[in-house]
Homo-oligomer: A and B are copies of this chain.
């Protein structure tokens, strides 16, 4: 960083106080809908409004650790092994928090369907909301959510992270359902099936078969688990929207 500026401010009191928080866009799929974890704000500002879960980064706490802690606190889940967590973007517009200068480092999380958080003791007030209904959020969280959704949709194209929305074992149809819900459009069952199996390391067979077929009929599908690939090659691209290009 520039020397002049740094020296001028070496005294920590020389600058107005700033704060750093993490906010988490935690996504999951419930009842075939893409949902985001929200909390209800009790105090001003934005009292009564919904917001993304988050909070201050503690002294001597790293950013990733802070986000993970916030997520664990709000979901009440200790078993966070299968959750994917990645940094999304940092928001720091002056005025985004009326009280003081607050920089928010947003994170994006993918979680398999979890028990309702309000059931867990400490985390009352947090709940999953379908993303279409998650509007009019506190602070600039509408923007944060929108950025998180776009990132999530893009990541499904070239990473196997869709599997983190599923349980340990899943069927190809369940995986297709995840893609359909996140992308908001149906995918051709036959072509999707072949594509998933043709990408090396995307999924691996468990050798098992589901105990029963679908609710409305059909054969017992085979079960798979996540493979060892970190990237999909070739990628599984969304149906092209010419509009997005220009």
Contact = CB atoms under 8 A, between A and B. Distances in A.
A59 B6 contact: no
A210 interface: no
Chain copies in complex:
2
Contacts of A105: 90, 92, 103
Given A1-B56, A230-B245, A99 B10 contact: yes
Interface residues of A, number: 61
A132 interface: no
B17 A20 contact: no
A229 interface: yes
A2 B39 contact: yes
Interface stretch (A30-38, A60-68, A212-220): A60-68
Interface stretch (A47-55, A162-170, A181-189): A47-55
A242 B201 CA distance: 11
Interface of A: 1-3, 5-7, 9-10, 12-13, 15-21, 23, 39, 41-43, 51, 53-57, 59-63, 70, 73-74, 87, 89-94, 99-101, 103-105, 200-201, 228-231, 233, 240, 242, 244-246
